[in-house]
Structure 1
Amino acid sequence: MTTVTTRTVTYPADGLTMVGHLALPAGAGRRPAVLIGPEGPGLNDFQRRRADALAELGYVALAFDINGGRWFTDPQEMLARLTPLLADPDRMRGIGHAALDVLRAEPRTDPDRIAAIGYGTGGAIGLELGRDGVNLRAIGTVNGLTTGRPGEAARIRCPVWAGVGSEDPIMPAEQRDAFAAEMQAAGVDWRLVVYGGALHAFHHPPVDQPADQTVLPGVGYHPKHAQRAWRDIIDLLAECLPVTE
């Protein structure tokens, strides 16, 4: 296993102080880099470990924040934060650009070789960066199959991979179809993997909840598909953003 260096980074975005997790691979030279966006509740150790795993593969990786250092355990609090955010592409892009600026400012980052992957809201933010014309090498989104403003998907300049559970009520078949139609009409190099039997957030291991709180309906972990989705993302990066010495 290679030696990975990590540190916490704070930066302003969306009127908040964001608290991200930066992981650097061994060595001293510039490396391709990956933004990792969290799902709606916020950034936690799951994405931090994903950043560390990517650093072990040779990438500079930034697991970015969307909630100002908060992890929401109350679904209603989370929805109060996310519903207006997801309805405002410019706010999502602002959060994404702020994280991208942090990643580009890292001396180990090759600024011309960056990909964005994310889960739920974090995946939607990656898509919005693509729709904003950002020079990314790949976009991967799990559970974040949002559609954008008309015509803006034509500005996506890289392959897009998307994964979703077949039984996800938050990203139902109609949403999947709308996403696919948008990508196809825009001439994007896109793929959509539907994981049979999986619910929303199928990739995320269970998180301890307070006794008086419940997770949103339709959310559930699927260990096999979680591993498969991660392998699919690694394959996407290997294809579009290979690590070369």
Structure 2
Amino acid sequence: MNRWIAGLISWMTATYSATAFAAVVERPFDYPVGAQTHRGYFLYDDTVRTTRPLLIVVPNWLGATAANRKQAGEIAGSDYVVFVADMYGKDRLPADAGAAGKAVGALYADRPLLRERIRAAQAAALGEVRRAGLPADPGRVAAIGFCFGGATVLELARTGADIAAVVSFHGNLSLPGTPDNAPIRTRILALHGDADPYVPAEQVDAFQAEMREAKADWQLVRFGGAVHSFTDPDARQPGQAMYDAKVARRAFAMMRDFLAEAFGG
């Protein structure tokens, strides 16, 4: 093998490695919600020079944990700039599932506060994108969420948020009470496990009736046999909350196709 060929192979290997394993950077960002400070995280591939859509990501009830930020970075890849919203407050992540249940229950019982926090996260993320010159396009914004986060982004849609799309993964589809909702202005994709014990048939029916009445642009996908948390690799409660690699793969593919259409191709 001559030097030219050896050099070409070496260059190609290095180039492929740099592309395949390019690091997604994580950038903490503190922002106010009322008198309280919240800490979100931007995640994006800083080797990509073009601007990308901005995804507001609301994690499951444990909040912006290392595991949930890792998943957000995988979603970001080279396609999106992701902002992981903080729904609890800086240094207030729930210590365990019991604490998370109490925190989420309090927010579900105070939907105005829930809505205030997700709207503040959206506004803060857009403001920081413009201020810091981050590689996100403020004209292409969507919100996605997981479990509690899925319910939260649906609440964002109910506020009349003018964003391109909302995607809920195994989230609560309807919440107690009947607060005043603004006209829904965004596309909605709800990805639901048909065997999810935490989102019963009555809630699914209520969501569909609500969407029809609102004349929203909506889709509900029901994955047969899937339970709660089907995208969470750490979910290991058979019959209740369980990771399903096949369903997760299909769900993320649907999300990307839905967002591509929402962002204009």
Say yes or no: TM over 0.5.
Answer: yes
Equivalent in the alignment of 2:163: 136
Deviates more, 1:99-108 or 1:39-48: 39-48
Q: Which of the two has greater helix per residue?
A: 2
**1:95 Cα deviation from its structure 2 partner:** 1.4
Q: Over residues 18-77 of structure 1, what are the superposed CA-to-partner deviations in whole Å (9 max), with x where a residue is unaligned? A: 222202344455432110111112222343234323433332210112233455353332
CA distance in 1, matches of 2:42, 2:240: 31
- Output the amino acid matched with 1:186: A
Cα deviation 1:131-186 (Å, max 9, x = unaligned): 1111110000012233363662x621121000111111111111111111111111
1:43 to 64, 68, 85: 64
| Conserved? CA contact 1:14–1:91, under 8 Å | no
Identity %: 34
Structure 2 match to 1:17: 37
| 2:153 alignment partner in structure 1 | 126
Equivalent residue for 2:118?
96
Task: Measure, in 2, the Cα distance between the counterparts of 1:111 and 1:190.
Answer: 23
TM-score after normalising by structure 1: 0.84
In the other structure, the counterpart of 1:204 is: 232
CA distance in 2, matches of 1:21, 1:207: 23
In the aligned structure 2, how far is the partner of 1:120 from the partner of 1:48?
15
**How far apart, in 2, do the equivalents of 1:49 and 1:131 lie?**
28
Paired residue total: 236
Task: After superposition, give the CA deviation of every residue in 1:99-134 in whole Å (9 maximum; x if it has no partner).
Answer: 112220213332222100101221222112211111
Q: Summarize the Cα distance change of 1:44–1:173 in structure 2 as closer, same or farther, 3 Å threshold.
A: same
Query: Which whole-Å CA distance do the structure 2 matches of 1:127 and 1:76 have between them?
Result: 24
Partner of 1:8: 28
Alignment of 1:229-240 (within 5 A): 229-240=251-262
Equivalent residue letter for 2:155: E
Q: State whether residues 43 and 70 of structure 1, in contact with CA within 8 Å, keep that contact through their aligned partners in structure 2.
A: no
Higher RCO, Cα 8 Å, sep 6+: 1
Measured in 1, the distance between the counterparts of 2:179 and 2:212 equals 13
C-alpha contact (below 8 Å) 1:86/1:121 kept by paired residues? no
The equivalent of 2:6 in structure 1 is none
Of residues 93, 116, 121, the one that matches 2:143 is 116
Moved more, 229-238 or 7-16: 7-16
1:216 to partner: Cα distance: 11
1:184-236 Cα shifts (integer Å, max 9, x gaps): 1110111111111111111101169xxxxxx7982222121122111111111
CA contact (8 A) 1:39 1:121 kept: yes
Q: Larger Rg: 1 or 2?
A: 2
Secondary structure of residue in 2 paired with 1:155: coil
Q: Match of 1:102, SS?
A: helix
Structure 2 residues without counterparts, runs of 5 or longer: 1-18
The residue type paired with residue 39 of structure 1 is N
Specify the code of the residue in structure 1 equivalent to 2:192: V
Which residue pairs with 1:164 in the alignment? Answer: 192
CA 1:65–1:150 in 2, change beyond 3 Å: closer, same or farther? closer
CA RMSD in angstroms, aligned pairs only: 2.6
**Contact 1:92–1:125 (8 Å) recurs in 2:** yes
**Structure 1 partner of 2:5:** none
Change in Cα spacing, 1:81 to 1:3, as seen in structure 2 (3 Å) is: closer
Residue type of the alignment partner of 2:164: R
Letter in 1 for 2:220: L
**CA–CA separation in structure 2 for the residues paired with 1:137 and 1:94:** 19
Contact 1:114/1:136, CA 8 A, preserved across alignment:
yes
